[in-house]
């Protein structure tokens, strides 16, 4: 991205109100020819994110002109080209099917995902996107077909996945132990991953006091902790503001270029042209009589 935000300097901008921050951000977005519907969406997301982060906006999101410049630059950036060298097959689904009672959530799903590939899993509500990831992760048994996985899997669920009375760093240590990381290495790795999402995870606050978006950042960091070869991400950007959402996709592309296999469940189709494969479950969901 171009026009990276400058560091927040509280002594110079303590008097800036949130209303002024939003007005200046809007003006800069419009100056950079961002479409009006997108301007409105960015402002709404920023207001929500500021509220969740405890405000004021200038502290949570940085200087308005810099924030707007970063958003505008990312929106006009070309799609990544020249994907990393594709490697061995990491995940393969063959004629996969799952049903509950007489209803097939999906069936006949086929997918080959290799090292160095990013896959978008899309589909209408109720087509089994989350169920598909759970089957791939081994949490749910399929009723038809098979899934073959080669490598360690990291899963970011859409909901849950964290423990209310632990801090972020305690989560890092707990999960890191299961992935053969020392306490110090787990903390360091968690902090580094959190920083890619513009989040300082060192604050010793129990998770129950974090906003929904920050909890989802924690889920995403935990999925990637220990450097798994396969990442299964179920709408991991829930509660993110536009800037963090763009940071997330930057991270997906970095993981892909590092040779990881990344599956992302998404209903936001604006990034589908920036992945290597799209698996649409809409036509594979049906109801048995």
Could you report the per-residue pLDDT of 234-288, keeping only the tens digit for each? 988 877 777 788 788 888 989 999 999 999 998 765 556 678 888 988 876 554 3
Mean pLDDT of 100-128: 90
Residue 44 lies in a domain: yes
Q: How far is the C-alpha of 102 from the C-alpha of 289, rounded, in Å?
A: 7
Q: Of 50, 94, 45, 97, nearest to 71 (Cα)?
A: 45
Q: Report pLDDT for 10.
A: 44
- What is the average pLDDT score of the chain? 84
Residue 52 lies in a domain: yes
pLDDT tens track for 164-209:
999 999 999 999 998 999 999 999 999 999 988 888 898 888 999 9
Range 233-268 burial, b when 16+ CB lie within 10 A, else e: bbbbbebbbbbbbbbbbbbbbebbeebbbbbbbbee
Q: How far is the C-alpha of 250 from the C-alpha of 193, rounded, in Å?
A: 12
Q: Report pLDDT for 37.
A: 80
Residue 211 lies in a domain: no
Residue 84 confidence (pLDDT) above 60: no
Strands 117-122 and 277-280: parallel
What is the domain count for the chain? 1
Q: What pTM value is reported for the model?
A: 0.75
Mean pLDDT of 78-95: 78
Residue 4 confidence (pLDDT) above 60: no
Range of 58's domain? 10-76
Whole-angstrom CA distances from 43 to 8, 19, 27, 47, 134 are: 19, 10, 11, 6, 34
Percent of the chain with pLDDT over 70: 85
Residue 90 confidence (pLDDT) above 70: yes
Mean pLDDT of 39-52: 76
pLDDT tens track for 200-249:
898 888 999 988 888 889 999 999 999 999 999 998 887 777 778 878 88
Q: How far is the C-alpha of 217 from the C-alpha of 206, rounded, in Å?
A: 14
Residue 195 lies in a domain: no
pLDDT tens track for 119-171:
999 887 788 999 999 999 999 999 999 999 999 999 998 877 889 999 999 99
Query: Which segment of 12-21, 48-57, 67-76, 238-247 scores lowest on mean pLDDT?
Result: 48-57
Q: Report pLDDT for 245.
A: 80
Residue 90 lies in a domain: no
Q: Report pLDDT for 1.
A: 40
Q: Report pLDDT for 197.
A: 84
Q: Report pLDDT for 288.
A: 36
Residue 249 lies in a domain: no
Residue 14 lies in a domain: yes
Q: Report pLDDT for 256.
A: 92
Residue 246 lies in a domain: no
Q: How confident is the model at residue 77 (pLDDT cuts 50, 70, 90)?
A: low
């Amino acid at each position: 991205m171009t026009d990276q935000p400058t560091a927040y300097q509280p002594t110079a901008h303590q008097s800036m109100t949130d209303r002024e921050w939003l007005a200046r951000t809007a003006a800069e977005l419009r100056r950079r020819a961002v479409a009006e519907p997108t301007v409105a969406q960015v402002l709404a997301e920023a207001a929500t994110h500021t509220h969740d982060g405890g405000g004021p906006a200038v502290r949570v999101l940085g200087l308005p002109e810099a924030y707007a410049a970063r958003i505008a630059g990312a929106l006009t950036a070309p799609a990544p080209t020249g994907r990393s060298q594709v490697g061995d097959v990491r995940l393969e689904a063959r004629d996969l099917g799952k049903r509950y009672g007489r209803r097939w959530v999906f069936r006949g799903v086929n997918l080959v995902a290799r090292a160095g590939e990013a896959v978008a899993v899309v589909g209408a509500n109720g087509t089994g996107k989350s169920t598909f990831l759970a089957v791939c992760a081994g949490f749910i048994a399929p009723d038809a077909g098979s899934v073959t996985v080669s490598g360690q899997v990291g899963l970011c669920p859409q909901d849950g996945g964290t423990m209310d009375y632990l801090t972020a760093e305690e989560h890092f240590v707990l999960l890191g132990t299961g992935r053969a990381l020392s306490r110090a290495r787990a903390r360091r790795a968690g902090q580094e991953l959190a920083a890619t999402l513009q989040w300082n995870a060192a604050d010793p606050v129990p998770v129950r006091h974090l906003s929904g978006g920050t909890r989802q950042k924690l889920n995403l960091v935990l999925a990637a902790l220990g450097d798994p070869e396969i990442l299964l991400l179920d709408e991991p950007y829930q509660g993110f503001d536009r800037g963090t959402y763009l940071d997330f996709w930057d991270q997906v592309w970095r993981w892909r270029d590092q040779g990881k296999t990344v599956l992302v469940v998404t209903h936001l189709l604006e990034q589908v042209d920036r992945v290597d494969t799209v698996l649409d479950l809409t036509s594979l969901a049906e109801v048995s009589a």
